[in-house]
């Protein structure tokens, strides 16, 4: 199939574009002209890079020409030093623009990558796709808005839409979880560590996304894509510490003063468009439970994550060491 991947200069989109190439698709990637990552690597992997931006409708129309399936992975996510309007313009309005371009160019299916974060803190673990929607910050709110636009476009007819909600994607190429690895070899843990955390190894996740793009009956459905098991944060940190050959941190400090410091950093930095050194979403990582049941994806898509947590942590640590990050 001829497919378009947005976000291919990022962590998940990069893995997905390469996975789809290996499994036989002809892959085009939408790449921003000012992307932090050079598109050369994509070209070497046999991926056609076309310039475009979710804020530029004309570029999206050109990118969708001749495409059968769009995997919409791009999002405004890792940068915290931006106002709410910037998240909304990419994650919600940008998704709307892409859906419109896909429809007008006769694309058959759009796989919309949302996030399990639309459920917010999980009160009753594990959560299924039907758990309450309770986004807890502007990123999660705008991801939910994007998801709703995607679902509405599917319901309007003429375009198949599948919504994927990945959970805690990690693996070689990601630096978001580096902080957790560094914390595991330190002395201080934030909070009691009894919140649940759920990780999904990127290799398993991209196969789940491919299934969303190819299984006929997936049209119109929403799927949580999560790893084989979840743990408490305390147990996760202990597993990472074991991989690193160290003791898990023994000193616990309360969360709320750090959360308050994060809020202050945001108030000062965001209007100046400076990346805050600390922000609430980062601190809430230690307090909000995330534990999911991905059995719908297993049943309907044949999603079968195969990378055990210990193995995924090992492969990630190896990559961090190779990069000189640990």
Ligand X SMILES: NC(=O)c1ccc[n+]([C@@H]2O[C@H](COP(=O)([O-])OP(=O)(O)OC[C@H]3O[C@@H](n4cnc5c(N)ncnc54)[C@H](OP(=O)(O)O)[C@@H]3O)[C@@H](O)[C@H]2O)c1
Which positions touch ligand X (CB under 6 A)? 6-7, 9-13, 30, 32, 35-37, 53-55, 73-78, 90, 94, 113, 115, 143, 166, 168-169, 176
- CA end-to-end distance (rounded Å), the chain: 40
Q: Could you tell me whether strands 160-166 and 109-113 are parallel, antiparallel, or unpaired per DSSP bridges? A: parallel
CA distance 281 to 217: 35
Of residues 170 and 259, the one with the C-beta less far from ligand X: 170
Of residues 267 and 325, the one with the C-beta less far from ligand X: 325
Contacts of 124 (CB under 8 A, 6+ apart): 131
CB atoms within 10 A of CB 53: 21
- Cβ-proximal residue to ligand X, closest one: 10
Residue whose pair of structure tokens reads 């560590």 in the numeric block:
193
Of residues 176 and 261, the one with the C-beta less far from ligand X: 176
- Asked if residue 103 lies in contact with residue 159, where contact means CB atoms within 8 angstroms, the answer is yes
Query: What phi and psi values does residue 198 have, to the nearest 5 degrees?
Result: -130, 125
Query: What phi and psi values does residue 80 have, to the nearest 5 degrees?
Result: -100, -15
CB atoms within 10 A of CB 15: 22
The nearest distance, CB 247 to ligand X, in angstroms, is: 27
Of residues 79 and 306, the one with the C-beta less far from ligand X: 79
The nearest distance, CB 161 to ligand X, in angstroms, is: 15
Of residues 126 and 157, the one with the C-beta less far from ligand X: 126
**Residue 48 parent element (H or E):** strand 48-51
Contacts of 273 (CB under 8 A, 6+ apart): 81, 82, 83
The nearest distance, CB 23 to ligand X, in angstroms, is: 19
Of residues 5 and 301, the one with the C-beta less far from ligand X: 5
The nearest distance, CB 5 to ligand X, in angstroms, is: 9
Report CA Rg, the chain. 19
Provide DSSP, 108-148: -EEEEE--GGGG-S-SSSSB-TTSPP---SHHHHHHHHHHH
Of residues 133 and 268, the one with the C-beta less far from ligand X: 133
The one-character DSSP state at 89 is I
* Cross-strand partners of 201: 170
Of residues 224 and 244, the one with the C-beta less far from ligand X: 224
């Amino acid at each position: 199939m001829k497919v378009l991947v947005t976000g291919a200069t990022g962590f998940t989109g990069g893995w997905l574009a390469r996975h789809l190439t290996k499994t036989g698709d002809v892959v085009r990637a939408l790449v921003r002209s000012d992307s932090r990552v050079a598109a050369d690597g994509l070209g070497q992997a046999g991926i056609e890079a076309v310039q475009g931006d979710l804020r530029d409708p004309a570029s999206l129309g050109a990118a969708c020409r001749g495409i059968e399936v769009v995997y919409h992975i791009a999002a405004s996510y890792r940068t915290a030093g931006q106002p709410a309007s910037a998240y909304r313009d990419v994650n919600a309005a940008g998704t709307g623009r892409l859906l419109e371009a896909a429809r007008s160019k006769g694309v058959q299916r759009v796989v919309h990558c949302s996030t399990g974060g639309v459920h917010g803190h999980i009160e009753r673990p594990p959560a299924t796709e039907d758990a309450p929607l309770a986004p807890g910050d502007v990123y999660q709110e705008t991801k939910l808005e994007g998801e709703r636009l995607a679902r509405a476009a599917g319901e309007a007819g003429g375009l198949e839409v599948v919504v994927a909600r990945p959970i805690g994607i990690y693996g070689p190429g990601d630096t978001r979880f580096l902080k957790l690895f560094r914390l595991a070899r330190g002395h201080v843990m934030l909070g009691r560590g009894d919140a649940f955390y759920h990780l999904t190894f990127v290799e398993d996740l991209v196969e789940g996304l491919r299934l969303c793009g190819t299984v006929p009956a997936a049209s119109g459905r929403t799927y949580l894509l999560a790893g084989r098991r979840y743990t408490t944060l305390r147990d996760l940190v202990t597993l990472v510490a074991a991989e690193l050959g160290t003791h898990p941190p023994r000193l616990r400090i309360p969360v709320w003063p750090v959360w308050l410091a994060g809020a202050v950093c945001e108030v000062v930095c965001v209007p100046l468009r400076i990346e805050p050194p600390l922000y609430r979403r980062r601190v809430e990582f230690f307090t909000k439970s995330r534990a999911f049941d991905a059995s719908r994806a297993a049943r309907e898509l044949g999603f079968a994550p195969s990378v055990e947590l210990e193995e995924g942590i090992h492969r990630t640590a190896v990559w961090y060491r190779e990069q000189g990050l640990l």
